[in-house]
Amino acid sequence: MRWLSLNGQIFTGAVLGLLIGWGMAGAPDTALRNGILYTSDIVGGVFIDLLKMILIPLVFTSIAVGVANLQAHKQIHRVWLTTLGFFVFSMGLAILLALIASNVFKPGAGLDIAMFRDAMQGFQAKQLSLSEFLAHFLHGLFMNPVAALADGNVLAVLIFALVVGIALVVGGDRYRNILLLLQELLEMVLRIVGWIMRLAPLGIAALLIKLIATQDTAVLDSLGKFVAVVVGSTLVHGIVVLPMILYLVTGVGPLRFWRGAREALVTAFATSSSSATLPVTLRCAEQHLHVKREVAGFVIPLGATINMDGTALYEAAAALFVAHLTGIELNLAQQLIVFFTAMIASMGAPGIPSAGMVTMVMVLQSVGLPAEAIAILLPMDRLLDTLRTAVNVEGDMVGSLVVQKLISRS
Ligand code: ASP
């Protein structure tokens, strides 16, 4: 496969994975089918494990080094503000899109409610109020760093790395060696990411075979209108809104962006995990999209944990779907509550498969919708998660380019 670039191989792997998975979807249980599924499970699992293996050292070194370098250039305040401002802005647009599409097309209205009742039977959703969620979230920010590293808790590692980065600068020359060591560690970790990426075409094919072959796609038909609204508005956000912001602010066209970002987008689609994709996202931002290491090293890991356009959009759309399904009409004020809780809930969702489902309970409860309703959304979540994770990751890369441009202006 030497003649095909890594990008080409990844793309081929994804297409083959989708086709094989699709071909196997309705196939009878033969030894061949079981063998393929077993192998896909192992290969896909090992690929994700490798990405997770490198994730924590990568987050730690890239944030600490990124913050230290930015701080040294006295840019950290501006980068902070611009980054958070962009995240909130783009997630706000995503939620707005979901609310408009849901109000116009009203998915769920007039649907057979019996199906809904069946799904809810025996399903106990964990209650999660806004105040509990906030307390839990704030509590999880600061942790013993060794425990956070061992647990793979990205958010807590990120916060600790921020503090270390600031201390490195405040300490100045005194900590020169530690900074140098971290810089070299980061360099080395990125090299390992490059090795893991060689496995990406196989890993992605395997993940997609397993996903498509074992999913019950019938559920997609029964909730067709909702799926269409979610997929449609997610695509509009990913193909129109984000590229437009990117072009207006930085002048980078959609094709150039796609060429640089596709490795990460395909990996996000196949893994449904922004965290597992992070090593690839960072590599794309730095090496293909030419974002400076200190900017990418700060914006991308932060974005992978809190910037989730696709998830925010989905949570708002799902809340309105459940409202229509149960015959509850949400007024403007209630939709405003959905807007804000969807934003907080998606920021708090970790970058792992179906995480948005868990924090969505909070959005439903904020306007008095039954939390049990997620039972009806769960069966199709793995499929919808693919696209929203890709848009989550796209938002992070667009964010790094936008932030780089905005801070260089002033
Ligand atoms: N899977 C998503 C991500 O990793 C989170 C979610 O919406 O479930 O970005």
Of 47-51, 305-309, 367-371, the one with minimum mean pLDDT is 367-371
Angle between helices 309-325 and 76-105 in degrees, nearest 10 = 30
At 167, the amino acid letter reads: A
Q: What is the DSSP letter of 127?
A: P
How far, in Å, is the centroid of ligand 1 from the Cα of 2? 33
Closest atom of ligand 1 to CA, residue 385: 1
- Choice between 332 and 126, residue whose per-residue pLDDT is larger: 332
Euclidean distance between CA atoms 229 and 117, whole angstroms: 23
What sign does the dihedral 170-173-175-179 (CA atoms) show? positive
* pLDDT per position as a tens digit, 240-296: 999 999 999 999 999 999 999 999 999 999 999 999 999 999 999 999 999 998 899
How far, in Å, is the centroid of ligand 1 from the Cα of 3? 34
- Choice between 93 and 55, residue whose per-residue pLDDT is larger: 93
Euclidean distance between CA atoms 299 and 128, whole angstroms: 29
- Cβ pair 62, 282 in contact under 8 A: yes
Nearest-CA residue for atom 6 of ligand 1: 356
Euclidean distance between CA atoms 326 and 309, whole angstroms: 26
How far, in Å, is the centroid of ligand 1 from the Cα of 239? 19
How far, in Å, is the centroid of ligand 1 from the Cα of 51? 16
Nearest-CA residue for atom 3 of ligand 1: 351
pLDDT beyond 60 at 113: no
How far, in Å, is the centroid of ligand 1 from the Cα of 268? 9
Alpha helices in 237-273 (DSSP H): 242-250, 254-271
* pLDDT per position as a tens digit, 319-348: 999 888 888 888 898 899 999 999 988 988
How far, in Å, is the centroid of ligand 1 from the Cα of 167? 32
CA atoms within 13 A on the CB side of 213: 24
How far, in Å, is the centroid of ligand 1 from the Cα of 301? 14
**Residue-level pLDDT at 372:** 77
Residues in the chain: 410
- Cβ pair 264, 280 in contact under 8 A: yes
- Cβ pair 390, 269 in contact under 8 A: yes
What sign does the dihedral 158-163-164-169 (CA atoms) show? positive
Best mutation site among 280, 388, 394 for ligand 1, i.e. most ligand atoms within 8 A of its Cβ?
A: 388
Q: Give the binding-site residues of ligand 1, using a 6 Å CB cut-off.
A: 272-274, 308, 311, 349, 351-356, 385, 388-389, 392
Q: Phi and psi of 140, rounded to 5°?
A: -80, -5
**Residue-level pLDDT at 118:** 58
Which one, of 339, 279, 344, 360, lies nearest residue 306 by Cα?
344
Closest atom of ligand 1 to CA, residue 349: 5
Euclidean distance between CA atoms 194 and 114, whole angstroms: 51
Nearest-CA residue for atom 1 of ligand 1: 353
How far, in Å, is the centroid of ligand 1 from the Cα of 274? 6
The model's confidence at residue 126, banded by pLDDT at 50, 70 and 90, is: low
C-alpha distance from residue 345 to each of 95, 243, 342 (Å) = 12, 25, 5
**Residue-level pLDDT at 312:** 97
C-alpha distance from residue 186 to each of 171, 180, 182, 314 (Å) = 20, 10, 6, 34
Best mutation site among 91, 265, 274 for ligand 1, i.e. most ligand atoms within 8 A of its Cβ?
A: 274
The model's confidence at residue 172, banded by pLDDT at 50, 70 and 90, is: confident
Euclidean distance between CA atoms 51 and 277, whole angstroms: 7
| CB burial readout 18-42, b (16+ within 10 A) else e | bebbeebeeeeeeeeeeebbeebee
Q: What does the block give as tokens for 7?
A: 């990008």
